[in-house]
Chain A
Amino acid sequence: MEYWIWLKQIPGIGAILQKRLLYRFQLPQAVYEGSEKELLSIEGIGSSLAKVIQEHRSLDQAKRILDEVMNHDIKLLTYHDSLYPVNAKRYPEAPILLYYRGSLRKNSTGVAIVGSRRCTDYGKRVAVEAAGFLAQNDIPVISGMAKGIDGYAHIGCLKAEGYTIAFLGNGVDICYPREHDALLAGIIENGAVISAYAPGTRPRPEYFPERNALISSWSQKIFVVEAGEKGGALITARFAKDQGKEIYALPHEINNSTGKGVNRLIAEGAHIYLHPAQLLPEGNMDVLDGEFISFNNKQSSNETRLTNKTHSTIKRTLTPIEQQILSSLSLAPKTIEEISADTDSDQLQLIELLSMMELEGLIQTYPGGKFRCGGTSET
Chain B
Amino acid sequence: MASIVKSFAISGVDAYLVDVETKTIEGQPLISIVGLGDTAVKEARERVEAALRDGHFRFPEMKVVINLAPSDLKKSGSHFDLPMALGLLMESDQLHVNRWQDYGCIGELSLNARLRACTGVLPMVIAAKEAGMKNIIVPRENIHEASLVQGMNVVGFDYLREVVQFLEGEKEYTIQKEMNFDAPAEDTYPVDFNEVQGQEAMLEYIVVAAAGGHNLLMIGAPGCGKSMIAKRIPTILPSMTEEEALETTKIYSVAGMLKGTGYLIKKRPFRSPHHNASTNALIGGGNNATPGEISLAHNGVLFLDEIAEFSKKTLDALRQPMEDQEVTISRVKYSNTYPASFMLVAAMNPCPCGYYGSDKCRCSDYEVIKYRQRLSGPIMDRMDIQKYVQPVNFINLSEYAFGKSSSEFRERVEFARGIQKKRFKNIENVNCNAQMGHILIKEFCQLDAEGQRLLQVAHDRFKYSARTYYKYLKVARTFADLDSAENIRKKDVASALMARDMEKEKAGMMIL
Residues of A within 8 A of B (CB): 117-121, 124, 128, 147-148, 151-152, 155-156, 158-159, 177, 179-180, 182-183, 185-186, 258, 313, 333, 335-337, 340, 346-348, 350-352, 354-356, 358-359, 361, 364-370, 377, 379
Contact = CB atoms under 8 A, between A and B. Distances in A.
Nearest to A119: B362
A258 B360 CA distance: 11
A368 B388 contact: yes
Interface stretch (B268-276, B429-437, B501-509): B501-509
Contacts of B379: none
27 contacts: A151-B365, A151-B510, A152-B365, A152-B510, A155-B512, A159-B512, A179-B366, A179-B369, A182-B512, A183-B512, A313-B457, A337-B390, A337-B393, A351-B495, A352-B494, A354-B498, A355-B494, A355-B495, A355-B498, A356-B454, A359-B461, A364-B508, A365-B505, A366-B508, A368-B357, A369-B357, A369-B501
Given A182-B512, A183-B366, A337-B198, A355 B504 contact: no
Given A155-B510, A182-B512, A347-B201, A365 B366 contact: no
A354 B458 CA distance: 13
Given A347-B201, A359-B454, A369-B390, A352 B461 contact: no
Q: Which of B491, B498, B507 has most A Cβ within 10 Å?
A: B498
A12 to B, nearest CB: 39
A358 B498 CA distance: 10
A313 B457 CA distance: 10
A365 B502 CA distance: 10
A350 B491 CA distance: 11
Interface of B: 198-201, 204, 219, 350, 356-359, 362, 364-367, 369-370, 387-388, 390, 393, 454, 457-458, 461, 491, 494-495, 497-498, 501, 504-505, 507-508, 510-512
Contacts of A124: 510
Contacts of B390: 335-337, 369
A346 B204 CA distance: 12
Contacts of A365: 501, 504-505, 507-508
A102 to B, nearest CB: 14
Contacts, number: 115
A358 B494 CA distance: 10
Contact of A369 (B219, B365, B461): B219
Contacts of A120: 359, 362
Contact of A348 (B201, B497, B508): B201
A346 B404 CA distance: 14
4 residue pairs, one from A and one from B, having the closest CB atoms? A368-B357, A369-B388, A367-B357, A118-B362
Contacts of A117: 364
Given A152-B510, A351-B498, A370 B357 contact: yes
A377 B461 CA distance: 12
B115 to A, nearest CB: 58
A365 B350 CA distance: 15
A124 B510 CA distance: 9
Contacts of B495: 351-352, 355
A350 B201 contact: yes
A369 B350 CA distance: 10
A368 B356 contact: yes
Which of A179, A336, A369, A370 lies at the interface centre, i.e. has the most chain B CB atoms within 10 A of its CB?
A369
Contacts of A183: 366, 511-512
Nearest to B497: A355
A350 B495 CA distance: 9
A120 B365 CA distance: 11
A300 to B, nearest CB: 21
A366 B201 contact: no
B201 A336 contact: yes
Given A147-B367, A183-B366, A351 B494 contact: yes
A69 B25 CA distance: 85
A313 to B, nearest CB: 8
B505 A337 contact: no
A377 B153 CA distance: 72
Contacts of B507: 365
A332 to B, nearest CB: 10
Contacts of A147: 364, 366-367
A370 B505 CA distance: 10
B200 A359 contact: no
A368 B458 contact: no
Contacts of A179: 366-367, 369-370
